[in-house]
Structure 1
Amino acid sequence: MQTDPYLQLEVDRLHHALVLHWKDFVPSEVYREGLLEAIQVSRREGLQNWVMDMKLMKVIRQADQDWTINTWFPQFQLLGIRRLAFVVSDDIFNQMAVSSMVATLRPKFHSDVEYFQELVSASRWAQENTGGLSDFGLFSVK
């Protein structure tokens, strides 16, 4: 597990899952390096499910949102991730940023995507390996 004041990467080999625990207002360099490292770890470990724990994360800068859509997401798509769970942030500005990015990327997703209020529920869902794409709503929260 990688430890950083802003991001912890946790590998769950049993369930083929990667959990990204984000905290606070993440500097651009840390945000981008963290997401790229997550791709490397996922590829190396053969992880098929991701949980983005954003509960304690603050707003994501517009430049980082653009980078996520244009630079990071095409690389993420190549991983063949089955499930992507978001634990919704307590920060309304983070919620708006994530919803905006997902809305932009929604037609390109090949993964099941869901939103959750708690990490336990998100992890449980990510561990289920059912096939097919779910119909996910931008504001649906489990």
Structure 2
Amino acid sequence: METESYLQMETDRLHLLLVLHWQGFVPSDAYRDGMTEALQVSRKTSLQSWVMDMKHMKVIRQADQEWTLNTWFPQFQLLGIKRLAFVISDDIFNQMAVSSMVATLRPKFHSEVEYFQEVNSAMRWAQEKTSGLSDFGLFSVK
């Protein structure tokens, strides 16, 4: 399965940041491969923040949501990521899936979690030092 057509991944090593830009309706194989690859990249480069740009992503299948909760998330927790930003999808079904997953995982999160309307705001927040308060005045969901 070709992940590149559904996911563009970029790293900002200066700010220890990983950005995942998702596109369209992502088949299970591509979703799981992309999420697993993101874990591997983070392990190799000791990143501290992630931005999940889901602005143009469609619904996440129920089986992939369960995989994210039960298989992927425990591995993500081991990375010690300090900040996780979600750029909200234009697709209402994706919004519902992400909200449901975050609500389920909220008590287990060790990361600060924020939602954004656009990727530039999410990246600015993710690049900030985690010891201070956000200058953007956004709500936290942790």
TM-score under structure 1 length normalisation? 0.91
1:39-50 mapped onto 2 (5 Å cutoff): 39-50=39-50
Q: State the partner residue of 2:96.
A: 96
CA–CA distance in 2 between the matches of 1:21 and 1:34? 10
Q: State the partner residue of 1:136.
A: 140
SS at match of 1:21: strand
CA–CA distance in 2 between the matches of 1:131 and 1:73? 24
1:11 aligns with 2:15: no
**Is there any run of 5+ residues in structure 1 with no aligned partner, and where?**
none
CA contact (8 A) 1:111 1:133 kept: no
Structural RMSD (CA): 1.8
1:81 aligns with 2:81: yes
CA contact (8 A) 2:112 2:141 kept: no
Deviation at 1:90, TM superposition (A): 0.2
Deviation at 1:132, TM superposition (A): 8.0
State the number of aligned residues.
136
**Is there any run of 5+ residues in structure 2 with no aligned partner, and where?**
none
CA contact (8 A) 1:48 1:80 kept: yes
CA–CA distance in 1 between the matches of 2:132 and 2:103? 19
For each residue in 1:36-95, what CA deviation from the matched residue of structure 2 results, as whole angstroms up to 9, or x when unmatched?
100000110111100000000000000000000000000000000000000000000000
CA–CA distance in 1 between the matches of 2:131 and 2:63? 34
1:127 aligns with 2:141: no
Percent identity among equivalent residues? 76
CA contact (8 A) 1:17 1:47 kept: yes
SS at match of 1:53: strand
SS at match of 1:90: coil
Deviation at 1:137, TM superposition (A): 3.6
1:108 aligns with 2:108: yes
96-105 vs 123-132, which moves further: 123-132
CA contact (8 A) 1:24 1:57 kept: yes
CA contact (8 A) 2:84 2:112 kept: yes
Q: Which amino acid aligns with 2:129?
A: N
Q: State the partner residue of 2:37.
A: 37
For each residue in 1:13-46, what CA deviation from the matched residue of structure 2 results, as whole angstroms up to 9, or x when unmatched?
1100000000000000000010010000011011
SS at match of 1:4: helix
